[in-house]
C-alpha cells in the first residue's frame, strides 16, 4: 500500500481556508506606492521627483524674445552689415534718441545726414568719428558727449559705441542719451563758478577792510604823535 500522510488539525484548517478565498484575478492591477502595504511599498517603483518647471532662460534662443528684450532696452541698438552698410535691425529707442522716425535710417553711410540737422555739428562729428574708425577699423570705439541738435531745436548729448562683429561681418552700434547727466554736470560747474566769484569778492572785501583798519591805526598814531609834540595828552592812547 501507499504511504499515508498525517497532518495536524491546525495544518488541515489552514489548507481548507485556502479554498474559501476568492481566486486571484488573471490580470492583477499594478501595485502602487500609495498602497498601505509594506510589500506593495517595497515592490512599487520608486516615486520620481516632479519635473522641474521650465526656466525663463529656456527660451533665450528665441529670436522673438531677443527682439522683445532689445525693444525694451533703455538704450538704442542698431545692427548694420559691415559690407553693404544696410541696417539689419534698429530698435525704436535708437530712433527716438536720435530724434528721427523709426525706419528713417536706411544706410550706415547716411546716418550723419539723417540724424544731424545742424551742418556744423554734422561736419565736426562726422570728421571725428571717421578719423577714429580709419585709425583702428577693427577695434571698438566709444565717443562721449556728442552734441546733437534735433530738427525740433532740442539739444541733446549722446554717448555712442561702435562694435565690429568680424565673425558675422556686422557692425553693432549703440547710443545712450546722457543729456540729463550732462545738464547736471553743467549746472554743477556753473554753481562752482558762481561760488568762486563770490569767494573772490569776499576776499577782495576782506583785504579792503583790513587795509582800512590798518590805515585808521596809523592815522590815530599820527594824531597822538602830534599831540605829544604840542605837549598835549594823547587822544587815542596809541603811545605808551
In tens, the pLDDT along 195-225 reads 898 899 888 888 888 888 888 888 888 888 8
pLDDT digits (tens, 9 = 90+) for 77-126: 999 999 998 999 999 999 999 998 888 888 887 888 889 989 999 999 99
Q: 18: pLDDT confidence band, cut at 50, 70 and 90?
A: very low
pLDDT of residue 234: 85
The mean pLDDT value for 14-41 works out to 46
Sheet strand arrangement including 170-177:
87-90, 76-81, 170-177, 155-165, 141-149
Calpha distance 233→240 (Å, rounded): 11
pLDDT of residue 215: 85
- Residue whose C-alpha cell reads 546733437 in the numeric block: 148
Task: Report whether pLDDT(32) > 60.
Answer: no
pLDDT of residue 217: 87
pLDDT digits (tens, 9 = 90+) for 188-202: 989 899 889 889 988
Closest alpha carbon to 173 in 101, 100, 95, 114: 95
Amino acid at each position: 500500500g501507499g504511504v499515508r500522510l498525517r497532518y495536524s488539525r491546525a495544518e488541515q484548517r489552514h489548507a481548507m481556508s485556502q479554498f474559501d478565498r476568492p481566486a486571484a484575478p488573471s490580470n492583477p492591477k499594478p501595485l502602487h506606492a500609495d498602497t498601505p502595504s509594506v510589500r506593495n511599498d517595497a515592490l512599487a517603483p520608486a516615486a520620481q521627483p516632479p519635473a522641474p518647471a521650465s526656466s525663463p532662460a529656456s527660451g533665450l534662443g528665441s529670436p522673438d524674445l531677443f527682439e522683445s528684450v532689445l525693444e525694451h532696452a533703455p538704450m538704442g541698438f542698431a545692427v548694420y552689415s559691415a559690407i553693404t552698410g544696410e541696417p539689419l535691425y534698429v530698435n525704436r529707442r535708437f530712433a527716438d534718441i536720435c530724434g528721427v522716425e523709426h525706419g528713417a535710417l536706411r544706410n550706415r553711410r547716411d546716418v550723419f545726414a539723417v540724424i544731424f540737422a545742424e551742418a556744423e555739428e554734422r561736419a565736426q562729428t562726422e570728421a571725428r568719428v571717421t578719423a577714429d574708425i580709419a585709425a583702428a577699423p577693427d577695434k571698438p570705439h566709444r565717443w562721449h558727449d556728442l552734441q546733437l541738435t534735433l530738427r525740433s531745436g532740442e539739444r541733446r548729448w549722446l554717448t555712442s559705441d561702435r562694435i565690429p562683429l568680424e565673425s558675422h561681418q556686422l557692425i553693432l552700434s549703440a547710443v545712450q542719451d546722457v543729456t540729463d547727466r550732462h545738464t547736471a554736470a553743467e549746472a554743477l560747474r556753473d554753481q562752482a563758478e558762481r561760488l568762486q566769484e563770490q569767494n573772490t569778492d569776499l576776499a577782495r572785501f576782506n583785504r579792503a577792510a583790513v587795509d582800512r583798519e590798518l590805515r585808521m591805526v596809523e592815522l590815530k598814531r599820527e594824531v597822538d604823535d602830534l599831540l605829544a609834540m604840542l605837549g598835549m595828552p594823547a587822544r587815542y592812547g596809541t603811545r605808551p
